[in-house]
Each structure stands twice: as C-alpha cells, then as structure tokens.
Structure 1
C-alpha cells in the first residue's frame, strides 16, 4: 500500500474568483499544442480570457462546453456556476456557496495560487528557467533517455529528453505532494521525500485501486542514502487521480507525487519512462540560478574521474558515469555507474569536507533489480 490518500483540502477560507483568473492566466505558459494533458486548462483559460476582454457570453459558452465535456473537472464546474451567478447579479450566492463548500473551494484556491506563483517565478524566459533547473542538479549523465525533476516548491514535474546537445525540457505538469510538505523522515509522516530516486516499475490501471488513477510508477524510496540516514517508509509513487477528480490540491497525498490522469498517461504511454529513469525531487530551487558553483562542479568531477581511474576493482567507462548534486544535502553529490557488464550498479555519495576536498563517504552495489548487495560506510573506514 502506498503512502498516498484521498485529498485533504486547505481549511482557511479566502476569496477565489480573482485567484482563479490569475491561475488560469498562468496556465497559458504551460500549454503545449501537442500535449493533450493540458488541453482542459487551455480551454478554461480561453473562457476566462473572454471575461477579461468583456466577451462575457463567449466565456459562459466556453465554460458550459468544458463543464459538460469534463464533469470531473471541478474547477471548470465552479467557473461555470460563478459565471452564471455573475450574469444573474447574484454575488451573494457566490459567497454563500464558498462558505458552504469551504474545504473544496479552498482546495481550488490553493491550486490557483501555486500555478500563479509558478508563472511569476518563471518570468518571461522559461527556457532559461528550465536550463537553470537542469544545471543546478545535473553535472553529467550516462545514457538515460529521460530525466525527471520535481520542483516541490512550484509543484511542477519537469520532463527532460536526451538529444545530441544534452537534455531538453519537453513538458511539465502540475503535481500534488504530501499533505505535510516535503522532507520525509519516517513512515506515516505524510511528507514527500527529497532526494534522487529511480523508477522501479510500472503498475497498470488493471492492477490499481481507483484512488491511484490510470497508472503508477513506483520509486525506490528509501534509497541507499535514505537508509544510511535512518529514514523509513515505503510506497512512494508517481500516480494519477480517481476518475471523478481531475486534479488535487497542492498538498493532498501521503507522500506520493500525484499527477492528473492525462499527464500520467503521457508519462507512461507517450514518453514510455523506463525503469531506472532518474527522478530528482528537489526543494528551494534557485530560480535565478547563477553558475557560481562551476568551480566546485569541475573539482568534484575531476576527483571522481581520477578516483575511478586509480581503482583496480572497477573498470569503468567515464561515459557511463552519472553525477548529480543531491538535493536537500549541502555539498553532497550522487554518482552511479554499471559494473559486471551491466549486471550491477554502483552508487556512491561524495561530500565536501571542511578543508574543501571531496571525499567518498558511502557506497553501495546493487543488482540489476535494485536489490542492495554490499554496503559500507567509507567515511568511518577512513578511505578517501
């Protein structure tokens, strides 16, 4: 059983209509014409755009169509109802309904707020934002066709695809996270973990309860670093939503990363994310990232390369080595590479010491199915 549960919306009441307009304006920056997962938001945005240009009848018509086509899209239903009320001059009814359905209304507002903040953070140059996001955590990669980065502050999942020039962002989706936020430490704390994980397997619709939507991708939490730190829990997945729910509040799961069903279908069927795909779940991502850490990055890459070439136990092709900055851990880098003709994977954690040098502090070897076989604390043994 995973650590996810049914939505628990925020409880503090606040006005909604203005926030929804901001929310839907923000969605315009996320819509891709080829991505069906975001077409519902695009339709809703068009309707409210008509309100802003005083084309009220057009807005009502579009809201009617979307609400009819997607009865599970509760935000669309709310927009339609409030547009009807505005047209009838019944502002009091709107306030009464907000108070009567406080929890659900607050849930919609929280999502609107998150989307608007994302738009403001991205500014006018999203390409620069995506490049900075990638550069902040990825030093070098092996042959992974895709990378996933979850920005827990913005509640967005970014998917990057490998090409001849490195990695390029291809799509991003709104996500819901743990009810108590991020930084998972123990089983049942209702938090989403921060760290670097791998997809382990796909769970199809036919094997899932309705709560988890059309598909799920399981993650290897707790990973070897989590276990070394004494973190507990299990069942952290990427998964969809029940079919009667298009999207969930930003903080509504028991620790999983939750997408709407169209987005989940895209990850599984369109992009076909494979087992071992890296999933970086990060917090406090620096929006205006400056390459001030370039010197540190070059130093740690150089030292890792030199260390691998000096080891008689490993015969590693540097091109097959991946190096990532570990989120939530100051000065920690995650390194992985295959050995024994790909039958095993070595994972290492390097950490900057007080004197400024880099030290290998923990290493584990795993079988191809991610089953740990050998672990040792190198910091305690005094090895460099």
Structure 2
C-alpha cells in the first residue's frame, strides 16, 4: 500500500491531491472509440488516464493491462512507457517515486509528471456540458468550426457552428510555449493570447520535428501590432515521428498536437481562415450568460450603423474611442475624413450581415472583436466588403477601438 501511495501521489507532486474515485473511472468507461467520428474523444488519452486512476484504486494488475493497451495503440507514447516501468517496479517492491528507474532523467521525469497531471486534471474537472468558452459570444455563418485553446490548461477545444451557436465536438491535449503564454516579442518562447485565424496547411516540406502538418496563425494581429508586439512563425503543428506528445510547456510558441489528433481535425483546417482563439485561464459561461454579455455590444453596433446611415456625423463619430486607430490614421485623421465626406449629406443605405462577436481573452480592458459583411450603397458608390472592428468598454459604453478590412 505504501508503494501505491508513492506512485499515485508523486504523479501530482506540486499540485493538490485531486478528489477522484471509482466514479471517475466509470466516466472513462463511457469513452469509446468511434471509427465513424473523425473528432471522437482521444482514445489513447482515455486509456492512459484510466490506467492512472486504476493505480490510485490499487488496481495495479488492471493498470498494467490498460497501459499495455496504450502502448499498443501509440508505440511512441513515452509517458506510457514510464508509467509501465513504474508499475513493474511497484510490483517488484522497488518503486521510490514516479519515474524512479535508475536510468531516468530527472528533467524528463518532471516533464512527464506535468503531462500526466494535465491530462488527469482535465478528466477530473470536466466542464458542464452546457457551458461554453467565454469568448464565444456569436459565431457567423462563414465559420463552420471554431478552435479555442486554454493555454495554461494545455487544452484545445473544437466547436461546431450550429445555427450561429457553438456546439462542443471534442478536445485534445496540446503543448504551448515553454515560457507560457502572452507572447510579446521575437524569441520569447511564449504562445500568443488573442483572436486569430489559422491558414490552410503549409505546402512546403517541413522537417520531421513539425509532425504531419503545420497551419500558420495570423500572429501578430491588428491589436498585437498596435501594442508593439512582434515575432512570427506561430503555427499549429504536430510532433516528431518518434514522439506521441510533448510536455505541456515545450514549444517555441507554437501550439502542438499529437499527430493523430492533428490528423483528426485536419479536414476542417484545409479551407483556411479557421477561427483560432487562445486564452489563459479560460472562463466558462452558460449560453444565456454569453447572450447577456453581448447584448450591450449588439445594440452599440446597430446604433453605430444607424448613425452612419443617417449621416449624422457627430453622432456617428461619438461611437469611436479617443484611442481609435487604423493601419494608417488615428481618431483625428478619421474624423476629418468622415466630416469631409458626410458634409454632402447624400442618401446612404448600410446593411450588416454574417456578424460575429468574440470577447477578447485576457484583455485588461473589456474588449471584443466584431466581424461582418458590410453592404454600403450611396448615390455614387456601391461597395461590399468584409470588415473587422475592435470594440472596448470605456466609461460604461462600448466604443470602436479599431476598424479595417478583415
């Protein structure tokens, strides 16, 4: 029993002991691999977690059988081999701590321990099925799927757009930057936090290190550049062929999936422009809470549209923050140009469609990204474009911080 205690507790060293029990194992029994579902819950991870939970229940024989299944399913899963080695040593009454085999590298054992803890904590703290990531206020029809990454939990969530509402599909363990999140400069080995888009798969042949595929993110985005953030080459990519997964914090800033998981979501990535939100310590809300949170912004966008359409220039400009910027001007320059154009008081019709709204994660001041198709018609101009705005909540009112083509 003492050996069992050493094994189970050392898996979670540096973290409070988690309250799992037989119910948690029963939950995992419900996770079945469905070959007809490309996005099925990760079968390999489910087996690994089951083996760890069996260890804590004293079921060492069952745990050994389960971990053998893991290795059979993923022969390059190094964490699974470490757990199997510990189980063998436990049965021989030789185990002192997690990864205590004589040839074990202490740094690598620490990485394996962190990965085991992340995977366990996820399964033992499942979000309520009805809750959604807080940034997902409104999805437009052009986005069939949305990806949300909780960086400090090393988790990627995939949602399907059903009638402009997010519907959970699957989630996967990921690796992020070795120095955490909140990327700000070239070489800081951090993963950026914000609202991004993943492009289609890179065509050029990449080294084995990047796995089976790589999808570039559009970091730095408009807000990143305005804050002076720099760097490039932030990708979603896979793992080397001899490695099933990497530690929770091990990349140079990229988001890294196992190759089987990357293959599972590959079909949705091929079109490019896949919405990709990265948050830190992500908050979860009910759909009703999300609807309430976006209500004020929805009204603000519509009021802005009406004031622009009415050609009431001062009312229209009142929707813009003093901090407003575009790629080429600030509020003063924008205001002068709008006053010049609208001095003619021409008849204008403006329609917005395919509107999306996303709460910007981890922003110091409440902020949201709004995308829409804009149909502008006047006496001398008929224009359609996809537009992006950043809105901030200042002085108890939503105002536009940035505006430009999407």
- Pick closer, same or farther for the CA change 1:62–1:297 going to 2, 3 Å: closer
Counterpart pick for 1:112 among 113, 116, 121: 116
Aligned match of 1:209: 207
Contact 1:37–1:266 (8 Å) recurs in 2: no
- Pick closer, same or farther for the CA change 1:30–1:108 going to 2, 3 Å: farther
Q: Unpaired segments of 5 or more residues in structure 1?
A: 1-14, 367-384
After superposition, residues 172-183 of structure 1 pair within 5 angstroms as 172-183=171-182
User: Aligned with 2:152: secondary structure?
Assistant: coil
Counterpart pick for 1:278 among 275, 278, 283: 275
After superposition, residues 293-308 of structure 1 pair within 5 angstroms as 297-308=294-305
Contact 1:16–1:109 (8 Å) recurs in 2: no
Please state how far the C-alpha of 1:280 moved relative to its aligned partner: 0.9
Aligned match of 1:348: 389
Counterpart pick for 1:320 among 339, 354, 371: 354
Please state how far the C-alpha of 1:291 moved relative to its aligned partner: 6.4
- Pick closer, same or farther for the CA change 1:185–1:56 going to 2, 3 Å: closer
Contact 1:85–1:94 (8 Å) recurs in 2: no
Distance 2:260 2:349 in 1: 43
Aligned match of 1:358: 398
TM-score relative to the length of structure 2:
0.74
Distance 2:359 2:282 in 1: 12
After superposition, residues 62-77 of structure 1 pair within 5 angstroms as 62-77=66-81
Please state how far the C-alpha of 1:168 moved relative to its aligned partner: 0.4
After superposition, residues 27-46 of structure 1 pair within 5 angstroms as 28=28, 31=31, 33-34=33-34, 35=39, 38-46=42-50
Distance 2:30 2:205 in 1: 31
- Pick closer, same or farther for the CA change 1:86–1:137 going to 2, 3 Å: same
User: Aligned with 1:351: secondary structure?
Assistant: strand
Aligned match of 2:84: 80
Aligned match of 1:8: none
Aligned match of 1:382: none
Please state how far the C-alpha of 1:110 moved relative to its aligned partner: 0.6
Residues 1:337 and 2:339 are matched in the alignment: no
Distance 1:53 1:168 in 2: 34
Aligned match of 1:259: 257
- Pick closer, same or farther for the CA change 1:31–1:196 going to 2, 3 Å: farther
Residues 1:158 and 2:157 are matched in the alignment: yes
Q: Unpaired segments of 5 or more residues in structure 2?
A: 1-5, 13-17, 310-340, 342-347, 376-381
Please state how far the C-alpha of 1:267 moved relative to its aligned partner: 1.0
Cα deviation digits, residues 145-168 of structure 1 (max 9, x gap): 011111112211111101247220
Distance 1:85 1:209 in 2: 37
Contact 1:36–1:262 (8 Å) recurs in 2: no
Please state how far the C-alpha of 1:336 moved relative to its aligned partner: 1.2
Contact 2:153–2:281 (8 Å) recurs in 1: no
- Pick closer, same or farther for the CA change 1:342–1:73 going to 2, 3 Å: farther
Please state how far the C-alpha of 1:185 moved relative to its aligned partner: 0.8
Aligned match of 1:374: none
TM-score relative to the length of structure 1:
0.78
Q: Which has the larger radius of gyration?
A: 2
RMSD over aligned CA atoms reads 3.3
Higher relative contact order (CA 8 A, sep 6+): 1
- Pick closer, same or farther for the CA change 1:29–1:98 going to 2, 3 Å: farther
- Pick closer, same or farther for the CA change 1:112–1:193 going to 2, 3 Å: same
Contact 1:66–1:76 (8 Å) recurs in 2: yes
Distance 1:227 1:287 in 2: 28
User: Aligned with 1:335: secondary structure?
Assistant: strand
Distance 1:224 1:194 in 2: 13
User: Aligned with 1:297: secondary structure?
Assistant: helix
After superposition, residues 19-34 of structure 1 pair within 5 angstroms as 20=11, 28=28, 31=31, 33-34=33-34
Counterpart pick for 1:139 among 137, 140, 143: 137
Cα deviation digits, residues 218-268 of structure 1 (max 9, x gap): 110001111111110011111111111111111111111111111100111
Aligned residue-pair number: 343
